[in-house]
Structure formats: C-alpha cells, structure tokens
Structure 1
C-alpha cells in the first residue's frame, strides 16, 4: 500500500509539471511548421499517413458518418495529429542531436520511441509487473487465510480485516492496469481513468490505514469513518472527470491523503511494536528514496528508460514486502484471536 502512496503523490506531481501543453520542443518554430504541414498534407518527408484524411478529432469534414474513422482504428493506430507530432518530433530530435543538443520535452513529455504503437513501452511493462506483484500478493494472502490458517465454524477467517484487504488488492490491480493502459496510449479517456483509479486507491488506502491502525472492528464505527472519506473521494473523481481535470487541485488532494496515511502507518509501526514493523519501515524508507527518481527528471535513455520508468521498477520489490507485512499481520491477529476462542 505504501508504494501506492508515493505513486499517487508523484502521479499528481507529474500532472502539474508534465502535462501542460507548452514545452521547449513544441515551442520550436520548425517543429510547429512541420506539424502544420503534416496535418494538411498527411506527410512528413517521405512518410505519409493514410488516416490523415480524417481530422484528429475523429469527425470527417464534408464526409458522411460512414466515412469517419472506425473506433477500432482510432484505438489501434494513432490519429493524424499524434502521428504528425511524433514524426516531426523524431526529425527535430535527430537535427538537434546532429548539432550536439540534448533532448527536450514536447507537449510536456520527453521524446519516447514507440514500440508497436506503444508510447512508453518500458513503463507499460513495469506497470504490468506491478500489477502481477499485487496479484501474487493478494492470491498468497487469500491462500494463507483460507487454506493455511484456522477458520471459524462458519468457515470465515479469524482475521477481522480480510474483506478490507481483498478490496485493497482489487483496487491496486485496477490502478496498475490503467497505469499500463495510460502509458501505452496517452489520450483523454486513459488519462482520466488512470488518475481516477489512483485517487480511488489512495482514498481507500487512507480509510484502511485508519481502520487498521486504530483497530476499528465495529461495523458501525467503520461506516462512520469511511462514509465522509468515500463521499469526498467520489466527489473529487466526479469533479475531475465531468467538470475540470484540475492538475493543481488533484495534486493537493493526493498529497494530503498520501502524507496523512504515511504518517499514520509510520507512527503505528512504532507505537504498536508490531513484530514485522521493520517491513513497514523498509517500504516507507524505500518509497522516500524512490522519490528522488521523480525529482531528478532526466530524458529517456535510448528513448525508452526515464526516471519515471525507474520509479515504477522500484515499486515492484516494495509491493512484495508490503504484501508480506499484510500476511504477517493476518497470521499474528489470527493466532491471537484463535487463542482467545480456545
């Protein structure tokens, strides 16, 4: 869970510093001329894009509806504007390299090399690995509870946070799935799904941190804690998707929730003297060190691996350790509750 605190924090931070449509690359007059000519002619040098007969917004000028670009093509291949921007960017970067200049950002993003149409292949692969790690952690947690630890007479686990962690596992996998999709294709809908999933996971993680650290077991008390936070997170997601995708406001919301739950877990680890508290500290410190990968934002090496991709890589072992702590906590509480029953 802790790894997702940093993910949400830096995803929000990246929103602010990385998505504004004004960077050194797209301010280059030669780049602008190249894109403008490509959108008119459909060609960059000797490379032409047949689908440029369709405008980038998906509506065909002076053409009937059945001549518009099919939806499956809109997803499978990049639209005219995106292809023009990409090829013009590639040409300008070659010219800059020949003059001894380093890469610059275009429309808020570093110049990545596409692989089979995937925009950031390394980040996609690492997001998928994070998803796999959460699936492995959740599955091993499930097997531990239902097949290795003692169960109640009604075949339910003694661990009183089982359902909460199941939901957390599903939300984590959902968040990493949309992260992979967003890095493969950065469009409006994938951006909103990625940010919404991250915010939903972050808000739920805050609820879970409060419930576990304060040992809230009564259902009515859990509802009282969760209801206002669920209402706030839901309202925030609706605001981002239906009113305005305000990156600055989203950053503030994510930072507050991330810092709050990080402090809760850190303090609880020291106060409770949990036998596996060292795993909590490893994840907290590891997440703090991974922060520098986002602060030190450097161009992608060979057009593939940038600081953000390395940060994704750093969360993989942290995820393994975090799920290991969750399983240790389940074993400890199950043992204590089972002894009380006996």
Structure 2
C-alpha cells in the first residue's frame, strides 16, 4: 500500500486542483456599457471631426501642456475624456448607475495622471519596496544563502511597481501589457522564492527544475495573451492559481517551523494579508470623488506590508547565515 502524501504536499496538490477549476471557469470580459452608448460614440466622432484636424488640431497641440504631450495624450484622447463625462452626466440625470468606459470606471484626470490614486499607491509601494531592499542589503551579509534570490525578487517587484505606476498614469496598449506581464512575473517569482527557501537550500536541483518550469509558464502565459487573446478572465484566474499555491505553500512551511523559528508569524501574517487584501478588488465600486476606487484602496493597503515582509526576510536570512556557520541542519 502506498504511503500517504506529506501534509504540505497534499495541500499543494489540492490547491492545484482548485486552481485548475479557476482556469477552466475563466471567461472573457465583455465590452463596457459606457463606450457602447450611441451618445458617447456620436460625441467622440463629432469631437474628433471638429477639433482633431487641420488648424484646430494644430491649435490643440500648440496649447497642450508639455507634460500632457510627453505622456502621450492626443486630441482623440481628450475627446474621449470629455465625452465620457458628458455621458456620465446624462446617466446621472436619468438616475442610472454609473457606467464603465473601455473596461474602467470614469476617473477625474489630475495633470497627466489618468488614475491619480492608483498611480500614487503604486509609487508608494515601489518606494516602500526600494527602501526595504536597501535596508535588507545593509543588514544582511552577501554570504547569506538567500541574499541573491531575495535581491532578484526585489528587483522584479520594483520593476512591476514601476510599470503599475506608468500604467495608472497613462493607459495605453503597451503600458497595460507591461503592467499585467510584470505583475505575473512577480507572482511566479514568489513561487520560486518560496521553493528556494523551503526546498532548494537542501535540494538545489529542485529549485532549478522549478525555475525552468516557471520560465516556461511565464513565456507561455505572455505568448497566449499577446498572440492569441488578451483574456482578462484567464489572466486573473492564472494569477489566482499561483497565488493560492504560494499562499498554502508558505503557510505549510510556517506551521512546520512555528516551534523553531520565533519570527515565523511574520511570514504567515504577510501571506494572509496580501491575499486577504487582494479581495478588496472584488468590491469594484465607482470611484469616490471620481478618484478612489477599490483597486486604489487595495494598492494603498499593501504599502505597510512591505515593511513586515522585509522584516521577516532579514530575520530569516540572518538565521540561515548563523545556521550555516554553526553547521546546523537547515529547516
């Protein structure tokens, strides 16, 4: 009779089964109500015809603020922005719910920032990540076994927060793709980080194999979204898949080491907070004061988590270094 699976292995297999169901249930997002409205479409067509050709276009370009031109705002974009608010006003006057436009809620533009609250929140997350990376590098010697893996993870995270800030500043085909792809890279690298810490220190071959599989997964994910279909439902389900596996894997490790590592609770708290706070996106309400929506609230709420996460990484890296020096078996 075969021996039962280790507890953590069984949990991870269960997570993969749930994740498969999520991927199978993923559906594409339909077009938004606002941009399908004939009044909106007619307004944009008329505005572009009137203001975005000939002398009027040259007049628009000559009076446009430099920061608007540098961030790629065009006359057509300005027409869409103005017509969006005209349509919103008509919806409100008739007592209807606020519609979305091109997959997004209407936001009040601030300078060149299309979603000012989310852009600020992304910037704050990036600054918190950078600050704690510098603290990590000043507190942990390079000889620590996880030093370079954690440094690489931090750089991947910083890149993702940079593109998140850019995307929420100016939503274009390129910035949207970079935001989504870089966010997926962070989620996949978090699995690699977890694998190296929990298995790779004792069995380096395992982390190498997982690393190759994750690179293939990322390449396939990006290729599908780029060349087959940019399916928002699939992208969300794929990220949720890795998130669930990552959550349960770390929690199993925390539980197994709760008696030997006094700082284990920091890791458990971080993964629970990150995945719990992600549920804020499910609220999905029209932005308060046309600025603060569920996505911005989610990003703002994750800023303090960076400090607790790197506190755990510093404690754990110093513990691993001391363990290696004394020749004690790694957890």
TM-score normalised to the size of structure 1?
Answer: 0.78
Number of the residue aligned with 1:64: none
**Matched pairs, number:** 297
CA distance in 2 between counterparts of 1:302 and 1:144 reads 42
1:76 lines up with 2:71 in the alignment: yes
1:24 lines up with 2:46 in the alignment: no
CA distance in 2 between counterparts of 1:25 and 1:232 reads 35
2:182 to 197, 215, 218: 197
Number of the residue aligned with 1:181: 166
Extract unaligned runs of 5+ from structure 1.
Answer: 1-8, 55-71, 147-155
CA distance in 2 between counterparts of 1:84 and 1:198 reads 31
**RMSD value over aligned CA atoms?**
2.9
2:121 to 126, 138, 148: 126
Cα drift, residue 172 of structure 1: 0.4
Number of the residue aligned with 1:297: 284
Cα drift, residue 20 of structure 1: 4.6
**CA shift in 2, pair 1:111/1:51, >3 Å:** farther
> Contact 2:199–2:207 (CA<8 Å) still a contact in 1?
no
CA distance in 2 between counterparts of 1:272 and 1:215 reads 16
The correspondence of residues 152-231 of structure 1 with structure 2, limited to 5 A, is 156-157=142-143, 159-231=144-216
Cα drift, residue 334 of structure 1: 1.8
Cα drift, residue 327 of structure 1: 0.8
CA distance in 2 between counterparts of 1:225 and 1:77 reads 40
Q: Secondary structure at the match of 1:25?
A: helix
Number of the residue aligned with 1:50: 57
> Contact 1:134–1:172 (CA<8 Å) still a contact in 2?
yes
Number of the residue aligned with 1:143: 138
TM-score normalised to the size of structure 2?
Answer: 0.81
CA distance in 2 between counterparts of 1:121 and 1:51 reads 28
Stretch deviating more after TM superposition (172-181 or 80-89): 80-89
**CA shift in 2, pair 1:331/1:23, >3 Å:** same
Extract unaligned runs of 5+ from structure 2.
Answer: 1-18, 62-66
> Contact 1:168–1:205 (CA<8 Å) still a contact in 2?
yes
Cα drift, residue 102 of structure 1: 4.2
**CA shift in 2, pair 1:114/1:21, >3 Å:** farther
Q: Secondary structure at the match of 1:270?
A: helix
Stretch deviating more after TM superposition (132-141 or 34-43): 34-43
CA distance in 1 between counterparts of 2:316 and 2:145 reads 11
Cα drift, residue 259 of structure 1: 1.0
Q: What whole-Å deviation, never above 9, does each CA across 1:56-103 have from its counterpart, x for those lacking one?
A: xxxxxxxxxxxxxxxx98653422332211100112223333444442
Q: What whole-Å deviation, never above 9, does each CA across 1:298-334 have from its counterpart, x for those lacking one?
A: 1111111011100001111112111111111012122
**CA shift in 2, pair 1:216/1:247, >3 Å:** same
Cα drift, residue 53 of structure 1: 9.3
Number of the residue aligned with 1:327: 314
1:260 lines up with 2:245 in the alignment: yes
1:234 lines up with 2:241 in the alignment: no
Q: Secondary structure at the match of 2:110?
A: coil
> Contact 1:77–1:117 (CA<8 Å) still a contact in 2?
no
Cα drift, residue 177 of structure 1: 0.3
Cα drift, residue 219 of structure 1: 4.3
